[in-house]
Amino acid sequence: MKHIIKLLTLTILLGAQQLSAQVRGNNPINLNDPNEISYLDPKNYIIGDVRVSGTQYLDNDVLITISKLVVGQYIEVPSEVTANVIKTLMAQNLFDDVQLYATRIEDEKIYLEIRVQERPRLTRIDINGLKKGETEEIRKRLNTSTGKIVNDNLIKTTEATVQKFLREKSFLYPDIKIKTEKDSAQANNEIVLVDVNKNKKIKVHKVHFDGNEKFSEKKLTKYMKGIKPQKWTRIFGPGKFKDDKYKEAKENLIAKLQDQGYRDAEILSDSVVKYSDKRVDIYVNIYEGPRYYLGNIEWSGNSKYTDSVLNIILGMEKGDVYSEEKLNTKLSGPTRASDELSAVYQNDGYLTFTVQPIIKRIYNDTIDVEIVLNEGKQFTINNVIIKGNDVTNDRVLLRSIYTKPGQKFSRELLMRSVREISQLGMFDEQKINPSPTNLNYEEGTTDLEYTVAEKPSDQVELSGGYGAGQVIGTLGLTFNNFSTSNFFKKDAWKPLPRGDGQKLSIRGQTSGKRYQSYSFSFSEPWLGGKKPIYFGLSAYTSSSSYGGFNYYTGQQMVKDSELNRIWMTGVTATLGKRLQWPDNYFQVNTSLSFQRYKLQNYAGYFSFDNGTAYNINITQEISRNSVDAPIYPTSGSHLRFSVQLTPPYSSWNNINYETDPEHVKQKWTEYHKWKFDSQWYTKIAGKLVLKTQAQFGYLGNYTQRTPTSTFERFKLGGDGMQGFDYLQGSEIIAMRGYYSGAIIPESTPNGYEMRATRSGSPIYAKYQVELRHPVMLNEQATLFVMAFAEAGNTWNKFDEVNPFKMRRSAGFGARIFLPIFGMLGIDYGHAFDPIPGLRSSDWKQSFTFSIMQNMGGF
């Protein structure tokens, strides 16, 4: 035993002497290599110096700090401390190799060197197999830049990011291969190569349920809104599987079950299993639980209303199926309806009103509920503050606001004020923000602050075209925030005086002598500035010729007196007033109008070719507009009824309507004209909106002795962009899929009626259903897409009218509203019913375009 101990001691001493000798002989020793150093006889030293070698990008001082080697401290060599230097630095994931060396030993001092081999740096990530836009989106998400360390974390992050992006696009099972290659242009740099095969988009084959007893699989699948399994009746195929939609579908499922009284319902487990390369099966294990019913309802904290009144407002009774969602909706939204309990209080000044339902007791299948009210105080409006209107005068906004100082606070009037501001068309609808501020709880007063953001509202129309040997140019300017009060103020012309909410429009279109049209309109919604009395003034003049011109050059070939020509001139003045009964959404307008039609050799359109006709009429219109927004309405309706009357000249003019020439009979145009238009907007789901519309028009005469007016008729078909045909004195009603005016009565006879029909028909009806969905809603632009179906027809006489026999069309389109250009649109419409006697090229128009079109009017 003694011999063994002596042998070990000798071995250790020799090893220590060898270590010292190697270091002194400029042969550094790797302190973590068992082949170079023995762990049997560690020795204590004082660290004399620590340095780092092999770095290119990293800071040496930081690495020394991480190693925890400090000059002057004692260290045992070799030991766990020297081993931890390697472990700690390798754990940083920055190096391919780390070694610790003793470079020299002087007495008790040891000098250490940390030798590192940095991992390669990233030059770039190349992604193959994806579209350019997809690659750019992934790069944004990766947020990788040149110089990053290429390590396992980078590789895994890249793969996970690509995988997540593709899952969002319904590519659940892509093949992703990632490798690196040296960058020959830069030392110690690598390029990461990502090869992607997206494979097929994944759709849902079927949803399987387990644990359901009260609900069928069909019903539960329907509740999973957003998940559309494969069905032979589904025209457009099953919906694509997306993780976010799947998560939302599970939440919808539980919400639906709880809404029907199964408040304990939950999903115990679920899984998505690959069914094929294109489809997945979904397995959902649910727990329905018992169905609960509403028990006793107790009220506390109420002093304004008695329990019985509150029960009536709540609209729920003992024994009803217990639905927490329905209960919360009845109490405080989120519908913001005027009949919910919170609205009843807040519309009566109780600004700080809160309500909280509390489950008081659950026994068997019954739930007793206590509804705790905190009524607070009634608040009175102290000040109304406007912010954000840099151009529009305060008074324009204040006169549109229904919440006035001194009134009790009303949430309903607050929302109505927001609608009225948006209807002005000068502010971003999404950024109108009303908020109570400066609440004084002792005095019960509050200020109301309306924050708005102005948007460009002026519009310009500038276009030019060439056809039939003529160049047609159009220039239109519309100023939607004009100010006559600043007209004579030099500083207000920037470039025109603005800020009073008036509208000024000027438009001109010409191709030279063959066609000219000029129009002007001005409107003031608050005449005098104190009451909502509308004043409008408009005028137009036009001149059009056909025949007598060279088709290719446009050169006039005949005398002016031989041209086929029509001149039209008109002026209209309108006064209107907002009504307070039946409610303050009603408006009544009265218009006085004068038109003159002068015809020269203008054959084929009217009942006479030469002569002058005058049209003096008065129009009475009543309308109700509760639409919530002018550009993209989501709720409300717009109803209009008007009657237009001319004097009954036939009662005193002594004209023989049987024998006198047509230009004599039509000189003083005589008619009565009735129009009705109704539009309804309903939010279906999310931002999807349904628009329904019905329109009717009738042009009649006072007596059977007089013919129906050859002017003021209706032309059905086309885009309806003009609204009024300045060439033929008729109104144009849009109906996509057909050319303008192509829908004529089926049994139009020859002679007078045939000629009159070219300028329109005296009776029309049109119906429309349109589904709209927004793509973009912001200050810069509003963009939405639509699918539509329309039906309409025209008739010559009332006894021919058949509301069930219509010309039909359907299609899809898009609208974009740009503040400077107004509403721009494109539609594709397919017409189903041909027009007898016409070739398809004469009546069928698949694509229609619209510029600055008023989407909701006659």
Check whether residue 7 and residue 114 sit in a common domain. yes
Please count the structural domains in the chain. 5
Q: Does residue 222 lie in a domain region? A: yes
Task: Return the pLDDT at 236.
Answer: 53
Q: How many CB atoms lie within 10 A of CB 56?
A: 10
Task: Return the pLDDT at 296.
Answer: 95
Task: Return the pLDDT at 13.
Answer: 41
CA 273 vs. chain centroid, Å, equals: 35
Distance CA 42, CA 39 (A): 6
What token pair was written down for 130? 């994806």
Cβ–Cβ under 8 Å, residues 829 and 850: no
Q: Give, in degrees to the nearest 5, the angle at Cα 171 between 124 and 148.
A: 20
Q: How many CB atoms lie within 10 A of CB 547?
A: 13
Place of tokens 């919440």: 403
Check whether residue 107 and residue 29 sit in a common domain. yes
Task: Return the pLDDT at 440.
Answer: 94
Q: Does residue 303 lie in a domain region? A: yes
Cβ–Cβ under 8 Å, residues 113 and 53: yes
Distance CA 628, CA 680 (A): 11
Check whether residue 185 and residue 110 sit in a common domain. no
Place of tokens 């002093």: 303
Task: Return the pLDDT at 227.
Answer: 86
Distance CA 767, CA 17 (A): 106
Check whether residue 299 and residue 348 sit in a common domain. yes
In CATH, what number is assigned to the domain containing residue 446?
A: 3.10.20.310
Check whether residue 133 and residue 190 sit in a common domain. yes
Indicate the residue among 287, 309, 341 that finishes a domain: 287
Check whether residue 44 and residue 146 sit in a common domain. no
Check whether residue 10 and residue 108 sit in a common domain. yes
Q: Does residue 283 lie in a domain region? A: yes
Q: Does residue 242 lie in a domain region? A: yes
Distance CA 512, CA 545 (A): 10
Cβ–Cβ under 8 Å, residues 687 and 754: no
Distance CA 167, CA 679 (A): 41
Handedness of CA 792, 794, 798, 804 (dihedral sign): negative
Indicate the residue among 287, 317, 338 that finishes a domain: 287
User: Can you give the residue range of the structural domain that contains 391?
Assistant: 380-451
Q: Does residue 553 lie in a domain region? A: no
Cβ–Cβ under 8 Å, residues 482 and 497: yes
Distance CA 769, CA 689 (A): 11
Three-state secondary-structure class, residue 633: coil
Check whether residue 140 and residue 225 sit in a common domain. no
Check whether residue 184 and residue 106 sit in a common domain. no
Task: Return the pLDDT at 388.
Answer: 93
Place of tokens 């009806």: 765
Rounded to 10°, the helix 243-259/152-168 angle is 60
Q: Does residue 612 lie in a domain region? A: no
Three-state secondary-structure class, residue 307: helix
Residues of the chain with pLDDT under 50: 1-18, 21, 24-25, 750-756, 853-858
Distance CA 268, CA 287 (A): 7
First to last CA, the chain: 118
Handedness of CA 273, 274, 275, 281 (dihedral sign): positive
Per-residue H/E/C for 164-189: HHHHHCCCCCCEEEEEEEECCCCCCE
Task: Return the pLDDT at 533.
Answer: 94
Q: Does residue 779 lie in a domain region? A: no
Q: Does residue 141 lie in a domain region? A: yes
DSSP-derived secondary structure letter, 430: G
Number of residues written out for the chain: 858
Distance CA 690, CA 675 (A): 23
